[in-house]
Structure 1
């Protein structure tokens, strides 16, 4: 019986991967590679894919597959996938370093966050890449991407893709005190891109 349930879980994940990864590839092309974050005691299996920038004017992206079906510490499924967009040069870091960072913040989010409501701010972390000034993280509704990625249907389930945006400590404080709209207004008035994690 346990073999059947194991096979059912594998099939369920294979279907989830096919649908979600297919939606990502339709928009961003082929991923270059992936890492897998597992927590066997929780039954967690999250794959993180790296989609390199097509050219210097394009964004590079890191996106999860499987976070949506991962159970939090309270037993509820996360229900969302994450996407992080970065400049073509990854903010001066290697893809491996960013994979490590994303795995760390995902593990913390799964353990500590009670739900996937947005916007949510994760405070500055020493786990962030050393060369980035944006060491905090904003989780918000997906922006700047195809509307087709905002919600992905898998059978009767609807998976929301949310945006993981590196932000500075000052920006995180602004969001917490005055809201995302104030942050958007601030970003509109500076010369740096919202996906540049080295902005002052």
Structure 2
């Protein structure tokens, strides 16, 4: 996807609709995680795709950093179907040894791939290991699933008559991919609960 800050291809009504959506969804994020530190916008003008990604760094009340989308739910797949979900990526405060710019770049690539190739946003979704994952992470695959450990208000954000779910993007390693594929997400959750590593640590082994 191209990186751009314009919305010139949106009609006035479409811009207004996006502004309302941003206000509601971002308001929920800020209520839970405080002020974002950075924002990156990725667009595909030919299909009126405009997705904003916000970075909420770890603070005094939380050791978890988060990257969360606004607008992904409005993006249309090549089939014309809406993605109909936003994403949240939670990481350790040091971002697994990577810079926020590197994580932003990774999330942009993931969004582009998901919009173009995924059939739906129905969780759980497992994405195999990829070379686009940050080099310092041992967890180079992904699980996209329902939120865990976050406010219930984020499970379905009311935007007019629409309920927009926020899905959790979880970096996982090849061993965890095998476990999920063989035994399901519940088994993965059991193993993580007993592990010395946090589920938000992308360097776990």
Say whether 1:167 aligns with 2:172: yes
Deviations 1:116-151 (A, max 9, x none): 110000110000000000000100001111111111
Runs of 5+ consecutive residues of structure 1 not aligned to the other structure: none
| Residue aligning to 2:200 | 195
Contact kept in structure 2, 1:25 and 1:31, CA below 8 Å:
yes
- Give the SS at the match of 2:123: coil
Runs of 5+ consecutive residues of structure 2 not aligned to the other structure: 1-7
CA-atom RMSD in angstroms: 1.3
Please list, as runs of the form range in 1=range in 2, the aligned pairs for 1:1-200 lying within 5 A after superposition.
6-55=11-60, 58-200=63-205
Matched positions, count = 197
Q: Aligned partners of 2:14 and 2:45: how far apart in 1?
A: 13
Contact kept in structure 2, 1:55 and 1:88, CA below 8 Å:
no
TM-score by length of 2: 0.94
Q: Aligned partners of 1:164 and 1:53: how far apart in 2?
A: 17
Q: Structure 1 residues 45-54 or 172-181, which shifts more?
A: 172-181
TM-score by length of 1: 0.96
Deviations 1:171-192 (A, max 9, x none): 0111111100110111122100
- Regions of 4+ moved over 6 Å: none
- Give the SS at the match of 2:165: strand
